[in-house]
Structure 1
Amino acid sequence: MTFGSHEGSRVGEVGDVALSVLLVEDSEEDELLLLRELRRGGYRVSCRRVFTAQSMREALASEEWDIVISDHSMPAFDSSAALHILREKGYLDIPFIIVSGKIGEEAAVAAMRLGAHDYVMKDNLARLNAVIERELREAENRRERRRAREELRRSEERYRTFVARSTEGIWRAELEAPIDVRLPVEEQIDLLYERLYFAEANDAMARMYGYERGVEMVGLRLQDLMPREVPGTESFLRHGISVGYLLMDAESVEVDRRGDLKYMLNNFVGIVEEGHLVRVWGTKRDVTRSKEAERALRAAEEKYRSIFENAVEGIYQTSLEGTLLTANPAMARIFGYRDAGEMIEALRDGVGRSLYADAGERERFISEVLEAGEVTGYEVEMVKKDGTKVWVSLAGRARRDESGEVFGLEGTVEDISARRRAEEALRRSEAVYRSVVENAVESILIVDGGMERILEANQSVKRTLGYTEEDLAGMSLCDLLEEREGWPGEWLRRVRESGSLRLGEMLLRRKDGTLAEAEVSLSVIPYAEGEAICVISHDVSDRRRVERALGEIREAERRRISRDLHDGVLQDLTDVLSSMQLERRIYGGRREREAEQIEHLKSAVSGIRAAIYDLRLEGPEEQTLPRSLNSIIELNRQTKEDCEFVLSIADDFPKGLWGPASMEVVRVVQEALANVRRHSGASRAEVALKVERGERGEEVAVYISDNGIGFENTNVAGIGLHSMRERAEFLGARLDVESEVDRGTTVSLRVGLDVLRGR
């Protein structure tokens, strides 16, 4: 036996049961007594004595102890302090026994309340071993219970963590009363709907049904999730009952909190005790998306099959060697077979030798597919079942296996025979068109949609205007126009509204600077992938020269007639009239009707003089409308000196109006002024020219007004008014006459501006 004589010393003795003792005692003699008693109890003791707080903390930190035996009261330490240190260090299961020579009942109870397990008086150490044996047993029991509780806690944590983190729905359902599993299936279903409620669900399951937390589902009934009216619900339950409430991977159709259908994959097990179902545990997976994906896949397959079967293009699959593996009905029709099966059977030897007019074309097609991976628009001539030829457009894509090796082709076939025939016909038509255009007498220009850049020109343009192909390539239509009024905006608007527009006669610039007179028209035509404007001009320069020559001849004839009338008839009549007037003044009126004859002669002289003035009027077609009207006004001033004739022309009136239509306007004005001279007795007459907006667009308005005697009936007929109406009708114009007695007369003529421009 070994003894220690100071604090922290260790003593021990061999016995049957090992016992590690931390002794809180300041008396070495009491330590020896205690050890002797323990040996008697059969313990193999390992003991360390401490009697300060510091030494006790060191001992607890350095070793593990089976039991702590403490004196109750020591000069620098006591059992309460020792017990506090033991609990402070967390040693809750180590028995703490107080062995003291003097401890009162109240102190002992207080110590027990602080955590001491028992106390033994030093004068009664005989009961020490029994107390130690009991407390060691109780300590072991406490440790076991604590380990069991800890294990249960960890198990529950693992369960809760698994349930909380599981992506599957996990649930538990309870029954308000057990259900006898021997009852008929239909009766068990009724009882399930009557008694079953959900007692537990994880958050994953809650989210499947549109809830946020599992606790929101506690208390829901079977009808809430699996309404009996949903098709397939009761058959699912029948199956679960028939397999003894042990179901694996079974699908059900359920509803979420919004009433939307959900497809679930279920596992559940019913807890059956003494032939009665008491609760059900289960898991769920929401397979709604996969079911929808399956339906979408089936729909896509059906759609693909429908497209495959009903496509107007042939669809095929072939091996790399040329065996036809798949063909749709359109493919068979293109090549004259009854159906795809007949075509596949007939082409067993390969499509290269049977379908291609030139077998080498297949090799070239395959080569392009292998190089590019995919080819479209490969046009080739093939052979139909009856031996006739057909042009097709091939599209092909390489088919590859998992390793990336090409094992076949797939693609489409389009019959383009009709298109090829149409293209050939179009080529011939274009050749004819090109020949007609190039050899046309008219000059034909194609300009862009903005009527600026010249795109094409035929030979007549180059011949008539003297430009080369290179000249025209850098020119715009504007470069050829001498007159640009309305270009390009107004021209574009009108030609697009009606599709075509006649501009009438215009002046075009030749390369040498001279001007060519031409009749010009526009039309919208398709060009490339859009539209262009076709400009057709007919050179009228030669015709105009002839017309001018004829005009000069007519003018010379008019002047000759005017001269003859003036120098002959007018002079003779004037001489006769003068003689008769002289004789009347000298001899007086001796003959009846002599005065009347003299008046007739005066009227005849005046009429002939007016006719002479009209004949002297220069042809209006050879000058502009304002200039012609100015000439008429001047001649009327000379003819009737006692009447003031005025011409008023608006500032914005077009200066370049001339030609046949303008001549008709001049003749209307001439007739109206003749009526003013002969019948109105006016002292003033005015001709006004304006441009006004009318129902048909811009119009030239001509007003001939006088301050003469006027008349009441505006529908009076006369040769002059009849002639004016005919000319207005010819122009498509409107002629109005307004007159009031003693207030004068106004004749108005309204004619379209385009008419006067020759359009």
Structure 2
Amino acid sequence: MAVPLRVLQVEADESQASAVLAELRRGDYELTCERVDTEAAFQKALEQGGWHIILSEYRLPDFSGLDALALVQRTGGGVPLIFVSGQMDEDAAVASLRGGAADYVRKSNLARLRPTIERALREAEERRAQEQLRQETAARTRKQAVLAEFGPWALANMPLDQLLTGTAERVAEALGVEFCEVLELMPGNEEFLLRAGAGWHPGCAGSVRLATTQESQAGATWQGNAPVIVSDWSKEPHRHLSALLREHHVRSGLTVPIRLRNRIFGVLGVHTAHLRAFTAADAHFLQAIANVLATAIERTLAEDALRESDERFRLLVEEVKGYAIVTLDPEARVQTWNHGAEHLFGHTAEEIVGQHIARLYPPGDVELGKPELDLRLAEEMGQFEDEDWRWQKGGTQFWANVVTTALRRADGTLRGYGVVTRDMTERKEAHEALRLNEEKFRSLVNHIPDAVWTVNAAGEALFISGNAERIYGFSAEEMKAPGAALGRNRVHPEDAARLQTAWAALFERQQRFEVECRYQRKDGRTSWLLLRASAIYEKDGQLVADGITSDISERKRAEEALRESETQIRAQARLLDLAHDAIVVRNLQHEVLYWNRGAARLYGWTTEEARGRRVTELVLKDTKAFEAAQSVLLEKGEWSGEHRQFTRDGREVIVSGRWTLVRDEQGRPTSVLVLNTDITEKKRLENQFLRAQRMESIGTLAGGVAHDLNNILSPIMMSAPLLRMDELPPEDFDRLLDTIETNAQRGSDIVKQLLAFGRGIEGERVVVQLRHIIKEMVKIARETFPKSINVTAEVAENLWPIMGDPTQAHQILLNLCINARDAMPAGGSLKVIAENVQLDEHYAAQDPEAKQGPYVSIRVTDTGTGIPREIMDKIFDPFFTTKEVGKGTGLGLATVMGIVKSHGGLLHVYSEVGKGSAFNVLLPASPNAVAAGEQTAHSALPQGEGETILVVDDEPGILGATSKLLERHNYTVLSAADGAEALTLFTRHRNDIRLILTDVMMPVMDG
């Protein structure tokens, strides 16, 4: 049979190497050969390992045989090296043998090669066997020494973690490995904890957990209850290499179980990053260590358990303050005294140990011999329990539960007493309180107007309070008599079946009941009774019913009266439905409780639709004014004013509302009564009147406007012919254009201001900044009033805004300024002054219409003729005027007064004949409100992208200029001279037109 032979050749000449191989093949070898010719290749081959023999040339081009020999001595692992060379002399051969070579063979005598190899292999095997024997002997000696030292060390008293860590360190050193582990099997048997170890990365011990499956080495050790050796992990694919072992590059390992008497504690294991064939001796040594360790673990765990038990007992005896635990000798002297005794009695152990137990009894009991009696009873009975008074250090007594036990030796002789005392003062007080409560309950039951009772399933009254006679007409004794059945036989026939059903459900299903019934009293009168009952089980297990019977006759009469009242209320409600006004009742959450037909007619919501819904959802779009009115209502109890609201179909209505806060008997607000009158048509007529008055005021400006427009148009008319001149210099041309543009802009401003005053649109009250309106008014006055009148204004920079109608604010200023102008026919000074004022309570007390708070003051003063005293009281009367016929209607100041009052403001006038007049308007301010910003300056016409715009105007000049301007800005323009033509163009170009720019007033069809 061929012998396996792995040969490493160090030879540069391939033909020489082939000759050597040919000689080896003559032998009976299963030959494996590798040839190298450099130091690097030789070193790499040595690292691969597994060679039986190395055959080396003595000299190579870049490497020598002696270099190869030196490498073998350092890393070859005892592989014999034979020089096969034709270049060695005798001296070199001797030197190589002394250096550790196995032999040398000349290439000229290769017949010696095979015998030389066989001798070298035998000698190497003998050396390996001797070395192994030496190592095994040393290891056995070392293990025996470790075992001899380990037993006494492990069985010494030390904490468990110290024991396990010390064991791991000693085992790793004894077996010459890098890693040792002590794994503890966790509850549930699903994982190990690396409880201690040696060589692992810091933090692994105490945190790493490993699986207990059969595929893992530790799991197989635990499940098989036997050692497990893994010589090379790479050759055991069926086993699972844990992350811990993989992280530390472990290649071999040995594990054994740690067996306690009734369970396996865990696994003790060693591992190495080198290939190592652990032996049976290694396993026996490691198991011996594990067995000693198991004994030490059991002892440590037992000591820990004993310490815990001792600690628990100490805590029980020493720390439980609720119990005084005392031991006595046979003479009744105190031997031990726990913290509970110290806490309960107040004596320290130093004060009481050695003293007689009688010190804990009240002096009176000591005189009567109570301590000795208690001890004698304990001796006779073995244990005696009693409740009595005990004595504390300060002389205070407490009620105690005391258990005294006679303590005897094994032979029955008395060795002392154990006394356990517990403070029962609170329980005794609770019992006393319970007794007093029971007395109070009986007293209370007998004094409440209702009858309280307890009956059993047979209907017999087990208890009934003293008020039974007032409720039933029979005494309590009569109601308890056999067959009385709590008066069930005297219930009205129409109610008897209902009551009987309730009693049955109570005792069959423990279903509590509450039943009203009519009852015939002893004197024959009929009363209405309310019976309420629930079932409970007594201590003896008997099911009984506890209940109360109330006389509700008076309530029934009140309910009947209420029904009659409700009938009257419904009749009154029908009358309210005939009212034209909207009458609504809502709760404080604004939900509708009542909604009459007048409300349904006004708002379009039926009573059924409105009831339960919030009025803010039904009739309002903006709730700010509503919330402000609600605040006034809650503060003053009532509110009246005007509101802008909306009907179901979105139509706007203006109502005059009167709200009243309804309160209950305790004065708490419960609801709101609302009466709303539709004043939409009235407001429309008022607005027409105000518009007419504005037009009258604007008419008085006509002369000034005509004069101004003439001054504006004259430069334009004069500039047009000059522009047609052929030889006009460019600078003159530009100057004439500037003149035309400036005057046209002035004319446009005057027209815009006149339109603003005359547009006649009264909107909702909004936040208004009067500074802007005053600025506009002063500007138009300067442009339209005679130049002999000097118009100035002083307006505070931080002027507060107001909540009002901007159009009506214009009208106030316009009327007052026109009156001032008319009072100065010869010229003079007109000044408008606006500032913030705060009206205090003293001012408000002097003027009934004034309310304290923030206001904006606007004073219009003139230096005119003044107002005579005799007509001062008439100037605000409608149609009163001092002007000539045709110069005024006398509505200007009346209009101002009406607008100011509608805004909640004040109007005062001061005048002196010959010196002038001053009108002071005070309007409520809203300092925290934010007014809309001023209009931004006109921006340039944006450049178009060919969009189509339809321009409609009956003025050819405007139509042409507008079209030309739009075309220059890259728009496509369609132009029409009236509405009919525009409609035709729109129909034809419907899909192209993006914007329509149209005049309003035109012939044929307007805008």
- Normalising by structure 1, we get a TM-score of 0.49
* Higher Rg of the two aligned structures: 1
- Normalising by structure 2, we get a TM-score of 0.38
The structure showing larger relative contact order (alpha-carbon pairs under 8 Å, at least 6 residues apart) is: 1
